[in-house]
Amino acid sequence: MADAIASVSLVIERIAELFVERAVVKLFSGIRSEIDGTMAELEKLRYFLKDADTYVRHGNVEVSNLVSKTKDMAFRVDDLLSRLTFDLASKREEGGITYFLIRRLPWILNEKFKLSKVRSELDEIRTKIASLRSRDSSSTSNRLVSIYGMGGIGKTTLAMKLYRDSRVRCHFDSLAWATVSQDFQARHLFAKILIQLTSATTDEREKISRMSPEKVAADISGVLKSRKCFLILDDIWTREAWDRLKPAFSKDQTHPNISKILITTRSKNVAFHAADGDDEEEDFLHGLQALDKDESFKLFQKKAWDLTNSKLNETTTELANEMLEHCSGLPLAISLLAGLLSTRRSINECKILREDFQTYLKRYNIHEEQQEGSKHLGLSWLLNLSYDDLPSYSKPCLLYFCLFPQGHEIDVSQLCQLWIAEGFVSLSPWQWGNSFETMEDVAYGCLCELVHRCIIQVEEWGSTGRIRTCRIHHLIRDFCMSKASDETFLQSIILSNNRDMMNISSSSTVKNVLQINGFQRLAVNVNNLANPMLISDDKNHKYAHLRSLAFANLSPIQLKQVWKPLLNKFHLLRVLKLENLKRLVQLPKDIGKLKDLRFLSIKDSDVEQLPSSIGYLRYLQTLDLRTVSRLTLPNVIYKLKELRHLYLPCRSSVTDKKLFLNGLNSLQTLTGILVDCNHWNHLARLTNLRRLEVYINKNLGDCYHPTSSTFNRLEFLAVKNDSGSTINITPIILRYPRTYEIHVGLPVEKLPQEDQISPNLVKLTLAHTGLKYDPMATLQKLPNLRTLHLDRDAFLGFEMVCSRGGFPRLESLSLVELFYLEEWQVEEGALPSLCRLNIRCCKRLMTLPDGLKHVITVKEIMVERMPIEFKYRVGEGGVDFYKVKHVPSLVFLNTSK
């Protein structure tokens, strides 16, 4: 096998060396395409030969014969090249290349025919080897693997480790992860999976979002059959839930099982049901077991070190061992314990905690609880102790997570805004004098404390090191839901006809929950239920206690039924979330009656017009109008003097043509607004803005002159347009000292000079900029840039160069849909801090730069939607693999022929 690979490699190198000389290029111009094609086939074969070695060692005669044939083919190509080069050298002495070409034209045509035949035979060999690999994979591997076990035992953690492991990822063409949760919607879940499996572009995502569930499921099934995919479905609750999902993942005996599906579930019955009675599939059911004593302490040590960055003292270690005996070997419990102990710095604090621990153990008898089959599995003592140990201001913040659906990925910005609207956080007297400290900062600090205690999980970090999204474990959420119910703090309801969900029938309405229990906050998710009586209009029913109301997926009929009692009875409502409203709906004209409202969101809803009475909501702090349809706005937003966050839809119009925002001095977030020269000058007066996303329809020219006080708190800036006209962006982004992130999504004349861009810039995204000159010359001089995305025609040139010493702190680089890029150079000493590289859909880029072999900091390279030849050339065994062989994770997804 080694000699076959060596033979193929030798021929590839000879072809590459041959075409360095211009005379040779001219000589072989008539057969260049055939030589290139032959080289490509050889590169593909070299990629396959490495895997074929396993079959040869196990005595597979068919593969052994194909390998021998490959070696013979390599010798034939080498012989043809040797004769060509020999004739070239001899004819140079006789009469030159032109004379040679005229005399030998018939011979060259004959050689072209021979090369074409060799190329065809090489392709046939490669196809046979690929077929054998696929057949072998189908016959010896199962398609579905299940991980099951009690809550908190680490199913999702194990699945995530597999999903992120480069040794696993490199075997698949496409990857996808989806959290199913208890109240999932099949259409949304299928769309999320298909988008991941196909690495869908923005246009393709829009198309997928309009598909029916049946169409998306069929497309998923097609992708799973045509590509080698790895799909994880996390947290499937019931057999019925799997039955709803199964149509997209059903087996087809006419296609090999080249894709793999992994599911996690708490129920062993669900795992067996997914196996569908297949004895072979049942062999791939993996039941997780609790950790033993040693494993528990090792995990605790690791968690404690991550939290405190210091070794445990003797007292803490002794206390930890004592408490670990009552954690049932569950990783979740061990993490909670590490978070609890991380707040104890002194010996005296540890002694107090030991006393509390013993008290809680007696109060919540762990053995009785386990025998009774409690859903908390003997962890009530730890859950209650962790909760009671929280500062008083953090407790309502934690319980508020129950407002979001099970398994939901929670946007941190919105979460903090909701906490503020509810009055959970406020500035302390000592913070009043700090002009840069806001309530949003205090709320974020509260979240960080919950994360530090391992109560809340970080889902995604932002480029500036702040938490972008988070999640709450279902066991902790169950506990919080019980607490919230006991305290009439909050209730979450799913209205559904599906048997696999928590049901409330149409006769048992939301009014009963509100009236009998007096909850202060209510979240209602309507899922496939036809027109329930949500809220009673009976005058005897009082709802003065209600502070927050969150509806999702209401139909127009249901919304109409809700409005009258809502406006007449919920006078003290602070939060109103009306998200994902189905079909075209209208907000009532008298919504202004909710005078105490602080937070209003109609995000992802089909609403076309906002009533003018919105101007009466004088205490409103957050207004989220990111609707899916074009929205007409009344020109009354300027009356909302307490407004802190305004999200406008990307398509909107104003009744008076121009939206006035004068006097909104508390505004921190403004997105989706269309501006011209005059409007921009008005925006410059909003000096507390932290996040600004604008659409520009023409050049601002010299009409804007920033002062020292303009946008001096701005952290995020995005500029876009829909017109396609070229804009001079230099006046817009002139040196804002606190701007950490900039997104430019429109055609620009040129980039500003490096000294005109904030020196604190950490993340930069360029999309649709249409730059004709290499942007790297400017961008590589930014001293603190850590993340750079060049997206969708950001650069229209053919060559990019990263020079020596350039990008000193860049950690993440993405090159996406740069359709004209052919060559990328990286000089030695460039990109010294690069960790992650993503190349996607740059179809003319044939290889990676040679200089990457010097960038030893790279941990991951992700290549998506690139030609298959790129994979064969750069992947393991390829002619250019030496450039990236030091990279731990090299993944190719959705490569194409």
Residue 270 resides in a domain: yes
Q: Which residue has the tokens 């953690």?
A: 157
Q: What is the dihedral of CA 391, 397, 400, 402, to 10 degrees?
A: -60
| Secondary structure element (H or E) that encloses residue 265, with its range | strand 260-265
- pLDDT score at 315: 81
Break the chain down into helix, strand, coil percent, rounded to 5: 45, 15, 40
Does one domain contain both 786 and 872? Answer: yes
Closest CA to 627 of 593, 663, 672: 672
Does one domain contain both 130 and 32? Answer: yes
Residue 216 resides in a domain: yes
DSSP-based three-state secondary structure for 782: coil
DSSP-based three-state secondary structure for 864: strand
Residue 678 resides in a domain: no
The answer to whether the CB of 809 falls within 8 A of the CB of 780 is no
Whole-number Å distance between alpha carbons of 68 and 222: 35
The pTM of this model reads 0.82
Does one domain contain both 262 and 358? Answer: no
Q: Phi/psi at 134 (nearest 5 deg)?
A: -65, -45
Q: Phi/psi at 335 (nearest 5 deg)?
A: -65, -45
Question: Which of the listed residues 98, 117, 140 is the one where a domain comes to its end?
Answer: 140
Which amino acid is it at 589?
A: K
pLDDT in tens, 64-84: 666 666 666 666 666 666 666
- pLDDT score at 500: 36
Query: In Å, how far from its chain's centre is CA 10?
Result: 42
- pLDDT score at 22: 45
Does one domain contain both 191 and 206? Answer: yes
DSSP β-bridge partners for residue 287: 148
Does one domain contain both 377 and 445? Answer: no
DSSP 41-67: HHHHHHHHHHHHHHHHHTT-HHHHHHH
Q: What does each C-alpha distance from 804 to 228, 346, 463, 801 come to in angstroms?
A: 39, 50, 24, 10
Which amino acid is it at 724?
A: G
pLDDT in tens, 90-123: 555 555 555 555 455 555 555 555 556 666 665 6
Does one domain contain both 276 and 335? Answer: no
Q: What tokens does 394 get?
A: 């953090």
Residue 467 resides in a domain: yes
Q: What tokens does 554 get?
A: 């209401």
Split the chain (897 residues) into runs of 10 and give each run's mean pLDDT: 59 56 50 62 60 52 64 66 61 52 52 60 61 51 81 89 85 90 82 91 83 90 89 92 87 61 92 72 76 90 79 81 89 92 84 88 67 61 94 96 89 97 81 71 96 94 91 92 91 64 41 61 73 55 76 74 72 88 75 92 87 94 88 90 93 72 92 80 84 79 54 88 75 75 90 87 94 95 96 95 96 96 96 97 94 95 92 88 93 83
CATH number at residue 450: 1.10.10
Q: What tokens does 789 get?
A: 């995305």
DSSP β-bridge partners for residue 148: 265, 287
The parent domain of residue 176 ranges over 144-287
Residue 45 resides in a domain: yes
- pLDDT score at 551: 84
Rg (CA), the chain: 32
Q: Using the CB atoms, write b or e for 354-369: b if 16+ within 10 Å.
A: beebeebeeebebeeb
Does one domain contain both 823 and 895? Answer: yes
Residue 532 resides in a domain: no
- pLDDT score at 205: 85
Q: What's 748's DSSP letter? A: B
The answer to whether the CB of 288 falls within 8 A of the CB of 154 is yes
**Residues ≥6 apart with Cβ < 8 Å to 522:** 490, 491, 492, 493, 510, 513, 514, 546, 548, 549, 550
Does one domain contain both 355 and 251? Answer: no
Q: What tokens does 620 get?
A: 């409103």
Does one domain contain both 133 and 150? Answer: no
Residue 81 resides in a domain: yes
> Rounded to the nearest 10 degrees, what angle do helices 314-324 and 293-308 cross at?
130
Does one domain contain both 330 and 212? Answer: no
**Residues ≥6 apart with Cβ < 8 Å to 397:** 419, 424, 425, 443, 446, 447, 450
Does one domain contain both 131 and 164? Answer: no
Neighbours of 269 (CB within 10 A): 12
**Residues ≥6 apart with Cβ < 8 Å to 599:** 417, 418, 421, 574, 575, 576, 577, 620, 621, 622
**Residues ≥6 apart with Cβ < 8 Å to 355:** none
Residue 340 resides in a domain: yes
Q: Please, what sign has the CA dihedral across residues 82, 83, 86, 87?
A: negative
The answer to whether the CB of 259 falls within 8 A of the CB of 228 is yes
Does one domain contain both 162 and 281? Answer: yes
Whole-number Å distance between alpha carbons of 619 and 82: 84
Between the two ends of the chain, the Cα-to-Cα distance in Å is: 27
Which amino acid is it at 50?
A: K
CATH number at residue 170: 3.40.50.300
Number of domains in the chain: 5
The answer to whether the CB of 50 falls within 8 A of the CB of 70 is no
User: Please, what is the Cα angle at 736 between 732 and 737, to 5 degrees?
Assistant: 170
The answer to whether the CB of 379 falls within 8 A of the CB of 328 is yes
DSSP alpha helices (H): ranges in 247-393? 268-275, 279-282, 293-308, 314-324, 331-341, 347-363, 366-371, 380-388
Whole-number Å distance between alpha carbons of 176 and 233: 9
Which amino acid is it at 128?
A: K
Question: Which of the listed residues 358, 388, 418 is the one where a domain comes to its end?
Answer: 388
Q: What's 585's DSSP letter? A: B
pLDDT in tens, 858-872: 999 999 999 988 998
Question: Which of the listed residues 224, 259, 287 is the one where a domain comes to its end?
Answer: 287
The answer to whether the CB of 675 falls within 8 A of the CB of 652 is no
